[in-house]
Structure 1
Amino acid sequence: MTQRGKLTVLVVDDHDIVHWGMRIVLVQQDWVERCLPATTGAEAEERARRYRPHVALIDLFVGDEAGTDIARRVRAAHPATRVLLVSGAGRISATAARAAGAAGFVTKDRSAAEIVEAIHRVGTGDDVFDTPVTPSSQRLTAREREVLELVAAGLTNAEIAAQLKLSPNTVKEHASSMFRKLGARNRADAVQRAQRLGVLA
């Protein structure tokens, strides 16, 4: 932290819209001193060495570069920089993220407020990792998981019933139970929640 208790944040992403959006959100935070953009690993490394950011938000995929490699380069340039990995497509385990020197990982389907909170927490010393599986999703039965996988594949209840050799009513019961445990409103929501929680690959 600076003497005023503010953080310098480095945002590493190859999409202009992400830089634009994060800058708008971050400059409104009273704990942010400066928001720095970088669109490549080389830029990130140079800005980490030059500006010594407190925290770096690094996409898991930046062009053809892996965010984990960029995280290592940023940390080598300025070891005190704490890294939060983020991704809109793909996940990384806490073990793999930590091996790259990251202190956290969140997905881009989180709200802007949640991502900003994660940046602040990582910047002030906390580790923040999306929980891969919630207690409710752990309670999915083997059959409910089968139904979930087939729902994700786009099959209708009738098609799922035929494939699993179950009655349509039984499939509907399994699906309803699975929706309830995931806190999902419908099929699409169930698939999205399951992917975010790591229940589905």
Structure 2
Amino acid sequence: MSGGTAVVRVVVADDEEMVRTALRAILDAEEGIEVVGEAATGAEAVSVVRALRPDVVLMDVRMPEIDGIRATEQILATLEDPPRIVVVTTFENDAYVYDALHAGAAGFLLKRSAAEELVQAVRLVACGDSLLYPAAVRTLAGRHTRQETPAPAWVSRLTGREADVLRLMAAGLTNAEIAGRLAVGPATAKTHVAAILAKTGARDRTQAVIAAYESGFITPG
């Protein structure tokens, strides 16, 4: 996290003031989390994030000027150590969600989520994990996967154990859960995940799972 502090610094980007106020109230009430800035447009979100360098951004998808997808792309492309971005959306199967995940968002959260789910999501991504809803990602991937596309070279470079780990990642398991399932140590599971990210060229677990679907390595449904 930024500056070596234990406090997770958050920016909330949403064009509805009521939503921003509600998210701020929930997060600021939690120990170890601080909302350091807000943005009402995509362009403002990019500017605020560049200025404040938060650990986590809660990004609405549909905003004026530029949408949350473009804002996500710009933030990740221009900052050397970018924050983790969680897309906040109304509909889990919105095509915008898939585009945001593809752009590099660490995951997504539904606006109807309970307060404790919001807090857990912020803490989870701040620690470097991803926020995946396997069923929703599977459905979204099924709409975007082009089955006729040849499998990329990285698929053949995966070891058998890495292939197992990637399938478990797609099922939404954390590193600790993967370690338990495969009867290996947490450090070993983390090493396998790192190798998968390197081979797929993915920024994080979410993009690795998207790549697994798009390559045909995992078949939706």
For normalisation by structure 2, the TM-score amounts to 0.54
Match of 2:129 among 115, 126, 130: 126
What residue in structure 2 maps to residue 82 of structure 1? 84
What residue in structure 2 maps to residue 51 of structure 1? 52
Is the counterpart of residue 20 in structure 1 residue 46 in structure 2? no
Q: Is the 8 A contact 2:13 2:57 kept in 1?
A: yes
Output the aligned Cα RMSD: 2.3
Q: Which amino acid aligns with 1:127?
A: S
Unaligned runs of 5+ in 2: 137-221
Is the counterpart of residue 30 in structure 1 residue 51 in structure 2? no
Distance 1:118 1:58, change over 3 A: same
Is the counterpart of residue 63 in structure 1 residue 64 in structure 2? yes
Runs of 4+ in structure 1 off by over 6 angstroms are none
What residue in structure 2 maps to residue 146 of structure 1? none
- Which digits, 9 at most, give the CA deviation of each residue in 1:96-131, with x for residues without a partner? 433211011121121121122112211221100223
The alpha carbon displacement at 1:34 in A equals 3.6
Q: Structure 1 or 2: larger strand share?
A: 1
For normalisation by structure 1, the TM-score amounts to 0.59
- Which digits, 9 at most, give the CA deviation of each residue in 1:24-78, with x for residues without a partner? 1111111213431001122111111111111111012113643111111222343
Q: Is the 8 A contact 2:56 2:126 kept in 1?
A: yes
Structure 1 distance, partners of 2:34, 2:45, is: 18
Structure 2 distance, partners of 1:9, 1:49, is: 13
Unaligned runs of 5+ in 1: 134-201
